[in-house]
Structure 1
Amino acid sequence: MLFRLIYDDALAQAAYLVGCQRTREAVVFDPERDVDRYIDLAASEGLRIVGAAETHIHADFLSGTRELCERVGAAAYLSAEGGPDWSYRWLTKKSGGGSYAHRLLRHNDSFDIGGVRVRAVHTPGHTPEHLCFEITDRGSGAGDAMGLISGDFVFVGDVGRPDLLESAAGQVGAMEPSARALARSLREFNALPEYLQLWPGHGAGSACGKALGAVPQSTVGYEQRFNHALALASDEGAFVRDILSGQPEPPAYFARMKRENRDGPAVLGAVPAPRPISAGDVPNGAAVLDTRPWEQFRDGHLRGALSAPLDRSFPTVAGSFVEPGEDIALVCEASEVDRAVRMLVRVGLDRVVGFVLPSMISSAPGLVRTKEVDAPGARALVASGRVAVLDVRRGAEFEAGHIDGATNIAHVRLGPRIEAVPRGKALLVHCQAGVRSARACAYLEKRGFDVTNLAGGYAAWEKARG
């Protein structure tokens, strides 16, 4: 058996290529949408991809399962446990007509990829349809599973959040029943053999949990001993209270990902290759994603541009602030264009029409400057009554301490909550350290608000108190 992890640092997402070296066949678990990476990796190992499997209908990225079905004729292995609301709806919509090769799996169903046996384990809670996959290397003579591809069920040091059907997808009343279902699934997990390796779907930085570890894999036994959330599962009431408290606000694009992954992501084909353009050639109405450092953006940017440096937050910022039907122009070095485009298509933003070199921005006409103030200046503004304060941190951060009179909206939720942003005054916008508020200021500026960023954020505000 061959086993490879393919990790996306920006979305903290793990896909797995599992192959049989005897038959030269492979399956990809939880692929993202730019599937050429998996195809090339398989080819480099002398394998061909014959299957694509999903642990669940994802909220944080667009699945590449349909893309692999189209590109290499892979069979789709998907959950049949989601009920009418969370069943896959794209399997009969093959390009050119007909149905994709597929198999819908229920608890304890299995399929083989050469000498590799894959058994589905229904683990509801994070989502109703969630499956884990036990992997057994029968080709080597093993009769017991080696490990568990756990998706968003159990992570290293955490478990998948059960609130997203309600907090992201808007299914009112789903949160607590999902938490109780998760507790039941975890109690069954606690009965698994300790030696099983654990291969989770996310690591630290993912919004699919609140305390994920940065280690890429674990064992069932280690998590049984040291995973705080898992340890609480025996006390269902305590578990529900704990798991539903302090979860980060889901980015605005999560609801769209759930819907599109259920109904069928658009077939991408080749990864878009935008052409170089001048600042003056940016199409009217296009979303401009300016990847330059904040200081350069603050001191002069194209009107309506969004501040989106190419760090790990890039796909989340873009997904939360750009609509999928919008044309997109990047302000980006040529060497970074492919990386940026891949991060965009993974969250369903495909219409990347061009890129402007950062060196061309300073000479462009009509540049806009974003206001920024230090903590003493911010205190003077607040004392004058000339500004309303908008705190774009997470709700849990806000509850731990905030500026009197501030309105709290997490920066990744500004789009759907734009009507709650204070009006009638200029806005002083802050987060904890000044980074998230910088992204928020650019978005709010585009939406017509008069904004000032608090450099250094709430930490600087508190430091200036005395």
Structure 2
Amino acid sequence: MPLRFTTRRAEGGSARRPLSIVSCPLFCPSEPNQFSPMLFRQINDAKLAQYAYLIGCQETGEALLVDPERDIDRYLDLAEREGLEITAVTETHIHADFLSGARELAERFDTTLYLSDEGDENWKYEWAQGPKQGGGDYDVTWLHDGDTFQVGSVEVTALHTPGHTPEHLSFLVTDRGGGADEPMGLLTGDFVFVGDLGRPDLLESAAQVEGAMEPSARTLYTSVQRVLEMPDHLQVWPAHGAGSACGKALGAVPQSTLGYEKQFNPMIDAAREGEDAFVEAILADQPEPQIYFARMKRDNKEGMPVLGSLPAPRELTVRELEDAAADEAPLVIDTRLDRSAYMANHIPGSLYAPMNDTFNTVVGSLVEDETTPIVLIADEGDVEEAVRDLVRIGYDNVTGFAEIDTLQRYFQAGGPSETIDEITFADFDAELQDEATGVLDVRYRSEYEEGHVEGALNASYTRMPEYETELPTDKTLLVHCGSGARAAAASSYLARTGHSVKYVNDHFANYEAASEEAVAA
């Protein structure tokens, strides 16, 4: 029997970097034909493990953009290449891990907004209820469960699927222009992932809404019951993939089907065991969220600043880098991939955030004030990527950059520098003979609980600014994680805040293996 949905009328447009990944289902051709005028594109931000979607009607040239990030020129370029105009934008929920591009589109192009009006009064889109910055009102349609809207011949039906957040919507997509009378797939946002479900603890663990965790988990359980009744053929198009902190075990496959997830998603399987068993399973071992998540929730709810064009940091000379290093106002962020090189020689007070997939997480976790002027140590070819990474999480004040070669000439010219001692787990026995030495484990709490160095303190690096003031100041801290990557960023932050640290560049598995050998002996 085909799905039937009731509807009700809801109340109420630098250098450019190529998209990292653009995918399309095999049965959804990119060229128009008599069978399917719908065009479907998934756009991946690998660092935030975030998916946005461009869904277009090739017959009318209109397109819907779903869950866009803030630097919208990427989506505009893609739409133009496909012969489409983005006439509408929607979001599955108020996001916690990046700044939305919905307001940017509405302010600059009067794009129609389709936003959730579900959930409690504390989680409404406040910015879209007020006037635009340039005057006039937003063209917004407020969505409730069952509401349907069309972009060209593409029909979209909103389903209220709370649990991750109170206002969360999922969207059924039907290709009416292709002759379909049933949905092809479900844009699940942060509800159903490949291999996981969206975590229900973020309102409490990230946004500091006390007591929200367990009720949210029970609400999520109810939402799962609804999805269990939907047809197996529906494709699942999630808002995140592996690497996102919006779940704890997301799969690396970009899309799935509902039938597959019903069979193999362990959290959906847990829901079959009953509500209490599900709540226990979904809340267990959730990693500590990045500290910037609370700010993203606030800004996406109240109104993120309109970006306009990307920041254009100026390249610094050696002399200008010396001036920046001497100035207490800017934060120098060192993006070199070689963390041992950073430990051996770096600008005093600089933060280590390598230009890899952890860059957003490191900066978002360790830089609390988004208005801080930022100077990057990065090669010119990486600057735009770094700027985009930063503005996506609200750091717009990127004032300058110095190439890595300029940094080396700065050191050669006698510019002030600092060193952080680097050790391995093989050095622990000797280091811990000194009573003024302690161990700091910056892995997630769940990792720490599975096994740790005896007497070690635990402070996840994703929330280090919260823990830092409670750490001992009369000891040298041996800072370690699972592989040395997280500990490198944490060591730089702790040194910047005045702690005496030694960086452990080693895999924790080596410590465990050595401990097991010692016991066996």
**TM-score normalised to structure 1 length:** 0.98
Q: Given that residues 77 and 103 in structure 1 are in contact (C-alpha distance below 8 angstroms), is that contact kept between their aligned partners in structure 2?
A: yes
Distance in 2 (CA, whole Å) between partners of 1:405 and 1:22 is: 66
Displacement of 1:82 in angstroms is 2.3
Q: Given that residues 184 and 233 in structure 1 are in contact (C-alpha distance below 8 angstroms), is that contact kept between their aligned partners in structure 2?
A: no
- Partner of 2:247 in structure 1? 209
Residue 263 (1) aligns with residue 313 (2): no
Aligned match for 2:510, one of 456, 460, 463:
460
Displacement of 1:457 in angstroms is 4.2
Residue 280 (1) aligns with residue 322 (2): yes
Displacement of 1:215 in angstroms is 0.3
Percent identity of paired positions between Structure 1 and Structure 2: 50
Distance in 2 (CA, whole Å) between partners of 1:356 and 1:284 is: 17
Q: Given that residues 274 and 354 in structure 1 are in contact (C-alpha distance below 8 angstroms), is that contact kept between their aligned partners in structure 2?
A: yes
- Partner of 2:116 in structure 1? 79
- Partner of 1:291 in structure 2? 335
Aligned match for 1:405, one of 436, 440, 455:
455
Residue 23 (1) aligns with residue 26 (2): no
Distance in 1 (CA, whole Å) between partners of 2:511 and 2:253 is: 34
Displacement of 1:61 in angstroms is 0.6
Unaligned 5+ runs, structure 1:
none
Q: For 2:361, what is the secondary structure of its paired residue?
A: helix
Unaligned 5+ runs, structure 2:
1-37
Distance in 2 (CA, whole Å) between partners of 1:371 and 1:167 is: 34
Question: 1:240-265: CA deviations, max 9, x gaps?
Answer: 00100111110010011001100011
Distance in 2 (CA, whole Å) between partners of 1:18 and 1:35 is: 15
Aligned match for 1:244, one of 283, 290, 293:
283
Q: Given that residues 379 and 461 in structure 1 are in contact (C-alpha distance below 8 angstroms), is that contact kept between their aligned partners in structure 2?
A: no
Displacement of 1:83 in angstroms is 1.7
Q: Given that residues 79 and 85 in structure 2 are in contact (C-alpha distance below 8 angstroms), is that contact kept between their aligned partners in structure 1?
A: yes
Aligned match for 1:222, one of 255, 260, 278:
260
Displacement of 1:238 in angstroms is 0.6
Q: For 1:78, what is the secondary structure of its paired residue?
A: strand
Distance in 1 (CA, whole Å) between partners of 2:51 and 2:307 is: 20
Residue 109 (1) aligns with residue 152 (2): no
AA matched with 1:83: D
Residue 302 (1) aligns with residue 339 (2): no
- In structure 2, the CA distance between the partners of 1:146 and 1:452, relative to structure 1 (3 Å rule), is same
Q: For 2:127, what is the secondary structure of its paired residue?
A: coil
Residue 415 (1) aligns with residue 457 (2): no
Aligned match for 2:373, one of 306, 312, 327:
327
AA matched with 2:341: Q
AA matched with 2:364: G
AA matched with 1:120: A
- Partner of 1:318 in structure 2? 363
Q: For 1:112, what is the secondary structure of its paired residue?
A: strand
Distance in 1 (CA, whole Å) between partners of 2:341 and 2:360 is: 20
Q: For 1:93, what is the secondary structure of its paired residue?
A: coil
Residue 61 (1) aligns with residue 98 (2): yes
Displacement of 1:435 in angstroms is 1.0
Distance in 2 (CA, whole Å) between partners of 1:88 and 1:47 is: 27
Distance in 2 (CA, whole Å) between partners of 1:237 and 1:210 is: 19
Q: Given that residues 381 and 387 in structure 1 are in contact (C-alpha distance below 8 angstroms), is that contact kept between their aligned partners in structure 2?
A: yes
- Counterparts of residues 345-360 of structure 1 (less than 5 Å): 345-360=391-406
Displacement of 1:373 in angstroms is 1.1
Question: 1:402-452: CA deviations, max 9, x gaps?
Answer: 111111110011012222222211111111111100110001111111110
Aligned match for 1:138, one of 176, 191, 214:
176
Aligned match for 2:500, one of 433, 450, 454:
450
AA matched with 1:377: D
**Between Structure 1 and Structure 2, how many residues are aligned?**
466
Displacement of 1:29 in angstroms is 0.3
Distance in 2 (CA, whole Å) between partners of 1:146 and 1:450 is: 57
Distance in 2 (CA, whole Å) between partners of 1:456 and 1:353 is: 35
Q: For 1:135, what is the secondary structure of its paired residue?
A: strand
- Partner of 1:379 in structure 2? 429
- Partner of 1:363 in structure 2? 409
- Partner of 2:388 in structure 1? 342
In terms of mean alpha carbon deviation, does 169-178 or 386-395 score higher? Answer: 386-395
- Partner of 2:14 in structure 1? none
Q: Where in structure 1 do 4 or more consecutive aligned residues deviate above 4 Å? A: none
Question: 1:381-410: CA deviations, max 9, x gaps?
Answer: 123222121110000110011111111110
Distance in 2 (CA, whole Å) between partners of 1:290 and 1:424 is: 27
AA matched with 1:242: A
Distance in 2 (CA, whole Å) between partners of 1:287 and 1:410 is: 22
In terms of mean alpha carbon deviation, does 273-282 or 174-183 score higher? Answer: 273-282
AA matched with 1:135: V
Residue 128 (1) aligns with residue 166 (2): yes
Distance in 1 (CA, whole Å) between partners of 2:138 and 2:49 is: 29
In terms of mean alpha carbon deviation, does 322-331 or 361-370 score higher? Answer: 361-370
Displacement of 1:327 in angstroms is 0.5
Distance in 1 (CA, whole Å) between partners of 2:216 and 2:395 is: 30
Q: For 1:428, what is the secondary structure of its paired residue?
A: strand
AA matched with 2:183: A
Displacement of 1:75 in angstroms is 1.1
The structure number with the bigger radius of gyration is 2
Distance in 2 (CA, whole Å) between partners of 1:463 and 1:223 is: 36
Q: For 1:128, what is the secondary structure of its paired residue?
A: coil
Distance in 2 (CA, whole Å) between partners of 1:298 and 1:17 is: 43
Q: Given that residues 300 and 362 in structure 1 are in contact (C-alpha distance below 8 angstroms), is that contact kept between their aligned partners in structure 2?
A: no
Aligned match for 1:49, one of 86, 94, 99:
86
Q: For 2:123, what is the secondary structure of its paired residue?
A: coil
Distance in 1 (CA, whole Å) between partners of 2:228 and 2:143 is: 23
Q: Given that residues 277 and 354 in structure 1 are in contact (C-alpha distance below 8 angstroms), is that contact kept between their aligned partners in structure 2?
A: yes
Displacement of 1:460 in angstroms is 3.0
Q: For 1:453, what is the secondary structure of its paired residue?
A: strand
Distance in 1 (CA, whole Å) between partners of 2:235 and 2:312 is: 39
Aligned match for 2:441, one of 391, 407, 419:
391
Q: Given that residues 107 and 134 in structure 2 are in contact (C-alpha distance below 8 angstroms), is that contact kept between their aligned partners in structure 1?
A: no
- Counterparts of residues 118-197 of structure 1 (less than 5 Å): 118-197=156-235
Q: For 1:85, what is the secondary structure of its paired residue?
A: helix
Q: For 2:455, what is the secondary structure of its paired residue?
A: coil
Question: 1:67-125: CA deviations, max 9, x gaps?
Answer: 11122221111110122100011112311223211111000011110100111000000
AA matched with 2:373: D
AA matched with 1:291: T
Q: Given that residues 59 and 257 in structure 1 are in contact (C-alpha distance below 8 angstroms), is that contact kept between their aligned partners in structure 2?
A: yes
AA matched with 1:380: A
Distance in 2 (CA, whole Å) between partners of 1:93 and 1:411 is: 39
Aligned alpha-carbon RMSD (Å): 1.1
AA matched with 1:280: E
Question: 1:119-144: CA deviations, max 9, x gaps?
Answer: 10000000000000110111112111
Displacement of 1:232 in angstroms is 1.4
Q: Given that residues 436 and 474 in structure 2 are in contact (C-alpha distance below 8 angstroms), is that contact kept between their aligned partners in structure 1?
A: no
